[in-house]
Amino acid sequence: MNKIPPFDVSQQYQQIGDRLNQAALAVLASGQYIGGQTVSQFESEFAKYIGTTHGVACNSGTDALYLALRALNIGEGDEVITSPFTFFASAETISMTGAKPIFVDIEAHSFNMNVDLLEALITDRTKAIMPVHLFGRSVDMAKLMAIAKKYNLYVIEDCAQATGATFNGQKVGNIGDVGCFSFYPTKNLGGCGDGGMMTTNNAEIAEKLHVLREHGSPKRYFHEYIGMNSRLDSLQAALLQVKLPYLDKWNSQRREISDRYTGLLKDANIPNIAFPHRCPGSVWNQYTICIGEGKRNDVQAQLREQNIITMIYYPLPLHLQAVYANLGYKKGDFPVTEDVCDRVLSLPMFPELSEEQQNRVVITLQKILA
């Protein structure tokens, strides 16, 4: 029985491999491997796609978050509110600046931060909010931006899993002060290695991001800040530039796949399972279901036996990670987050996933849980 992987990065290469090869060879022949026109062109095209006036490329989505925090002068003594149900980088980058991550519980139906709980957490040390558009779905940015404006807080959007997603017709990454994107291979717009981008409509912030990613140096060998070496290489920029025009098509395919999963799961009427709510603006980086308490790990193991590979994002919330014991959080502080961490299972999801493969996933789930 053929394996159904959680994501198949090779299929995009099969579609547009000739164009990717040509782009890669052109960079190799140019001798311009760091920076240059290829990178600046991609920055411009990506910013135009998101709808911002500036795009600043960097080495990874993690670096994008860290550089954004630094560009907004967030550091020692400051607090930044974010989600405990996300990849570690969201909180890690806050800690790297010397600031303190403050967690807020999530909504069960969206897996995103519960914006209604934000105001109670704001103190005189709060400097920013970092909404994470998890699994491709936007946080409620209307409510969040109203709160940020009321308390004069920065908003750094973690868009790593949501390239192309919209909220009320506006692309994420063009709503807050800075949008931060990842081009890790499994993302909706994935490269052939690490890569990241920061988007903003503020020229001053964009200029500082440019300087910080180049060792804090506005002019070679002259340094204004303690920066870092975080550049997107020309080869990745060239490959991503080839892929960018296909992104809307791939995201549309993801929406079709998510709708089909939902339809199949409804028809199957599987007990002890909850599937994600439909969201037109989502780009469905993951299709994540929740399985009855105590059953998830066994279900995943049985699916694996049938060559269906699923993922658990995320098994342990950030507030219960050993490294954050010093923050003083305890089990029970964020009940919704803790509950979903015990139950979430991400089904195979990529634009080329076939109807036959989806049928097999759902039929197998039905047999396991019936």
> Is the distance from CB of 253 to CB of 15 less than 8 angstroms?
no
Q: Say which residues have a Cβ less than 8 Å from residue 197's Cβ, sequence separation at least 6.
A: 43, 46, 55, 56, 57, 58, 64, 180, 181, 183, 232
Residue 159's nearest CA partner among 87, 109, 248 is 87
187 is catalytic: yes
Rounded CA separation 298/295 (Å): 6
Closest C-alpha among 318, 316, 314, 315 to residue 329: 318
Distance CA 194, CA 287 (A): 23
100, 187, 208, 243: the catalytic one is 187
Residue 320: how many other CB atoms lie within 10 Å: 17
**Catalytic residue IDs:** 187
